[in-house]
Chain A
């Protein structure tokens, strides 16, 4: 603080000429910061409240009310982890999210490559077909999909329900089918911006189409792929609807959908509910804080996705 006051007279001298609007706006800036600060704290509040609640004992809050201080404990996390079997549900989420994200990126980049590399008349239809699929309301497709999934048999080693219904495979497929559209849209735009001379050169070298895709295009798409991967991990991890309707066995639910089952167990204990919520949120929050730049880039890359 003290250094800034000593430097300010100098800064408002001739050196600040390039930015002459700064000094006269001071009071307005203060108001702006006050406003933004209030909004930001207000926005963080529900999350902070959940964290706060999760760190306090039920007995203490029951006796003193939630608007009090004290009763600090980590027991809620221990209890929530045990009773809700979070370990198992996190693992289920991994089984679904990891293959689904990899498959989505692979398949979408294939289509995007063909759309970007060749200018066929059908490209626009193809692009529309994929992009629109991502925006359809899932519930509107539920009825036929539900029927299909309960009719398609799977060998027992793939699914103990012996059906696509109530299996990880089914959830992976449906997530891939839905998320492909967004990735095709983003990646095809990204690939179209690559210089076409690359392909000319590759053709001269006799590179096959597959090599042009895998060894020329894909390495150049790394930033877009990284941004999409971050985003898709959070989306598929957060996916709630398909897991709720296409799964039956509670043990196989991914962690986001298992929340609903957990509520019954936690019914009367808000401290446990909040510990559970924080636990479920942790993976996405970690991704968010570690890969914030990628996440934001991904969201704004396509500027779509409902």
Chain B
């Protein structure tokens, strides 16, 4: 899989820079375009841009703005009162599900980061060796990736269900794996990890295929063992993929939603920030300002990691 544009783009982007001076610079080339061409270019960018700004970025800004108000979603916008940081104070100090939700999101991250992601990487390293049947193993591992998370919630119910589930039938217990607030988060994490491992394995496998084989040869000529070659040579070379995998893991655990929502709408042991936001808007209580404060917290955390991600992929693209 050498056709990874992430890596391919390196030289491609660099190429215009040395050639453009000889052609008289950007300004002149633009002026060479006809009026129709300029209209076409503007439309080609403007239409998609309006859609993304209008349906993603403006709502994101509006969420931040609304988080400082007491709007209940009913009255006209002119009646909104500015309440400053009160919603945030309420979220942190006066909203029992908030702390468990934060803990669950962090636990989600920890489980994916400490167990599922390394397992996915490990399997990718094993599958990167030329072994017979590699395709079968790969297919089996990333099959869950094509299923929706909502569907995964259903599939695992067949294993977790108290009266009809496989787990209790085999273990002879009476645990309600999805219903018991002390165990359900763990049950859900197994299902989420099941999908995540395959996804990471795939990303990492693609990254490994892009590693220059001469590096490994050089290491083996120097007498390095396979393990030390991996940790000292291959792993550091894969820095961009490592960071992408890290960011994917963080964002995935922050955006976790579908699985808990199909089980019990994120209550009773399965609180997550995303579920709390949703409950506050489409649920019985329409607490716009309060829900927006929760949403803004989500936005703030994700933007940190999105920035890291963009910095990495754009730098890779420019080099």
| Set of chain B residues within 8 Å of A66, measured between Cβ atoms | 164-166, 169
When A110-B47, A137-B254 are in contact, do A304 and B147 touch as well, CB less than 8 Å?
A: no
Q: Which A residues, 107 to 132, have Cβ-Cβ distances below 8 Å to chain B?
A: 107-108, 110-111, 113-114, 118-120, 124, 126-132
Interface membership of B41, Cβ < 8 A: yes
B5, B37, B40, B54: residue with the most chain A Cβ atoms closer than 10 Å: B5
- CB pair B51 A238 closer than 8 Å: no
A148-184 near B? 1/0 per residue, CB < 8 Å: 1000000000000000000000000110111011001
Q: Across the interface, do A67 and B26 meet the contact criterion of CB distance under 8 Å?
A: no
The residue from B37, B44, B141 contacting A43, defined by CB atoms under 8 A apart = B141
Q: Which residues of B contact A304 (CB under 8 A)?
A: 244, 248, 309, 313
* Among A43, A44, A120, A135, contact of B26 (Cβ-Cβ < 8 Å): A120
Q: How many residues of B contact A (CB 8 A)?
A: 118
Q: How many residues of A contact B (CB 8 A)?
A: 110
Instruction: Chain B residues near A244: list those with CB within 8 A.
Output: 261
Known: A47-B144, A110-B44, A301-B4. A36 touches B137 (CB 8 A): yes
Cα–Cα distance between A176 and B52 once the two chains are bound (Å) = 8
Stretch in B10-18, B91-99, B179-187 with 4+ CB within 8 Å of A: B10-18
Known: A127-B314, A256-B148, A306-B255. A50 touches B155 (CB 8 A): yes
Contact of A305 among B4, B147, B248, B317 (CB under 8 A): B248
**Could you show 18 A-B contacts with beta carbons less than 8 Å apart?**
A40-B136, A40-B140, A46-B156, A47-B147, A119-B17, A119-B26, A127-B314, A128-B314, A141-B63, A142-B282, A143-B288, A146-B281, A173-B55, A190-B5, A238-B151, A270-B161, A299-B206, A300-B1
Q: Which residues of B contact A (CB under 8 A)?
A: 1, 3-6, 8-9, 12-13, 15-17, 19-20, 26, 29-30, 32-34, 36-37, 40-41, 44-45, 47-49, 51-60, 62-63, 66, 73, 123, 126-127, 129, 131-133, 136-137, 139-151, 154-159, 161, 164-166, 169-170, 194, 197-199, 202-203, 205-207, 241, 244, 248, 251-252, 254-255, 257-258, 261-262, 273-274, 277-278, 281-282, 288, 291-292, 295-296, 298-299, 302-303, 306, 309-310, 313-314, 317
Mark A residues whose CB is within 8 Å of B: 29, 32-33, 35-37, 39-41, 43-44, 46-47, 49-50, 53, 61, 65-67, 107-108, 110-111, 113-114, 118-120, 124, 126-133, 135-148, 173-174, 176-178, 180-181, 184-186, 189-190, 192-194, 196, 203, 208-210, 213, 224, 234, 237-241, 244-245, 256-257, 259-260, 263, 270, 273-274, 276-277, 280-281, 284-285, 287-288, 292, 295-297, 299-306
